[in-house]
Amino acid sequence: MTGLLGVSSLPLLGSLPVVAQDQTLRFFGWGDGAALKGLFDAYEKLAGKKVAFEGVPFADMQNTIVQRFRTGNSGIDIFLVDPTYVPTFSKLGILTDLTSAFEEKSKGPLFPSDVQGAMYKGRMLTLPMWESTQLLFFNKKLLAKAGVEAPSVSPDARMTWEKVIELAKKVQAAGAETGFGFEQFDRYYQLQVLPESLGGGPGVKGDDLLTVDVANDAWVEAGKWYGSIFADGVASRGPKSDTEVVDLFKAGRLAFLVGGPWLISDLNKVDGLDYAAAPHPYFAKGKAVTPSESWHLGVAADTKNADQALKFLSYAALDKSGAVLATNGSRLSANIEATAEVLSHIPQQNPNLKGVDTLMRYELANTAIRRPRTLGYLQLEELVTRAWSDIRNGNDAAETFPQLQRELERSFKRIKE
């Protein structure tokens, strides 16, 4: 009970009303909420307050949030917030200011970079819950069949993209259906690292991050490489979702998969799947960079249940026990102690993953990059994702990215006006 006792004195935000303490907390996110059920159940036992989850498909979440608040009564108390949308959501006025409640309390328990991601114009608008990195998963049986030595888990032995694709083609030639796959193909989070590895930047620059820069040489080179792996057939155009890509790996039909540590708990449940993980690749003439950061928790500006919402946030993010439950076993937490506990358990769950905990600590400390905090992120993500998709399906990066540059410049011009 110490976690809850620690948050019971959280101050109410002055602009928010005190409400009856028996009101159910309404939590909005994506999917079915199954990954958070353990957290919800534990909070209900500790606080005696029920958490009701409402979810929509991942691709619909951001637009749904905006539309819900436009009605004047969102019906939401707490919602998952992609931290890149903090500036946009701040401008729309849909986030409660959490500065007085959590800015000081978060210093120490949470990774400083995650706390920084929750800040905008001197205010703390969200509370970080998760962190992330990416790994190169591989099927040991498929590699052995092809005579390919299993990659090392050491960051000192990190492979280049060129080497990974060379090996993927060799394993594919030996019978694997597909050589390589990105879990989140086309998505900005997954692919930002390609031009970044080559020194091309995140696609925006300037003090306000509203100057578009997606057509430089590094972006075009990265785009040509991305298109080539699908044109060659080493990566498949068949899957229509991240779930389908992961299912290929689970079925033993995919040799190499770049994906997040959240996959580990499910992969461990697959009978006969002999897999391991290696460091995220980089380009031979570039540098090692890895995706990072993850979902935050926000309190709806129109909530009528502010007191309980603040207590839930504190339990889910600042209290170690709640933060561990929120990881569902293999996600990384923005809570430093919770991440340490999750990482320590991963090698115990699967002997093949020995050293993966050390690898992820290294990536978080040395290679992690974050997406840009720009007021144009919604447009950046949508249009960049569409451009990667076009390239995956055969368009020339040398034509696609200059066209993307022009589209984003027109879109950003409206933001500046």
Report whether 365 contacts 140 (CB < 8 A): no
Coil, helix or strand for 79?
strand
DSSP state of 236: -
**Ranges of H-type helices in 192-316:** 193-197, 217-231, 242-250, 264-267, 306-313
What's the pLDDT at 218? 98
Report whether 119 contacts 69 (CB < 8 A): no
Amino acid at 354: K
**What does the alpha-carbon distance between residue 133 and residue 260 come to, in Å, rounded to a whole number?**
6
What's the pLDDT at 18? 36
From the CB of residue 335, how many other CB atoms can be counted at a distance below 10 Å?
Answer: 29
Give the containing element (helix H, strand E) for 55.
strand 51-56
Beta bridge partners of 299: 78
**What does the alpha-carbon distance between residue 30 and residue 56 come to, in Å, rounded to a whole number?**
5
Greatest CA separation for the chain: 66
What's the pLDDT at 343? 95
Half-sphere exposure (CA, 13 Å, Cβ side) for 282? Answer: 20
**What does the alpha-carbon distance between residue 26 and residue 28 come to, in Å, rounded to a whole number?**
7
pLDDT in tens, the chain (417 residues): 223 223 322 232 333 333 334 579 999 999 999 999 999 999 999 999 999 999 999 989 999 999 999 988 899 999 999 999 999 999 999 999 999 999 999 999 999 999 999 999 999 999 999 999 999 999 999 999 999 999 999 999 999 999 999 999 999 999 999 999 999 999 999 999 999 999 999 999 999 999 999 999 999 999 999 999 999 999 999 999 999 999 999 999 999 999 999 999 999 999 999 999 999 999 999 999 999 999 999 999 999 999 999 999 999 999 999 999 999 888 999 999 999 999 999 999 999 999 999 999 999 999 999 999 999 999 999 999 999 999 999 999 999 999 999 999 999 999 876
Give the containing element (helix H, strand E) for 322.
helix 320-326
DSSP state of 81: E
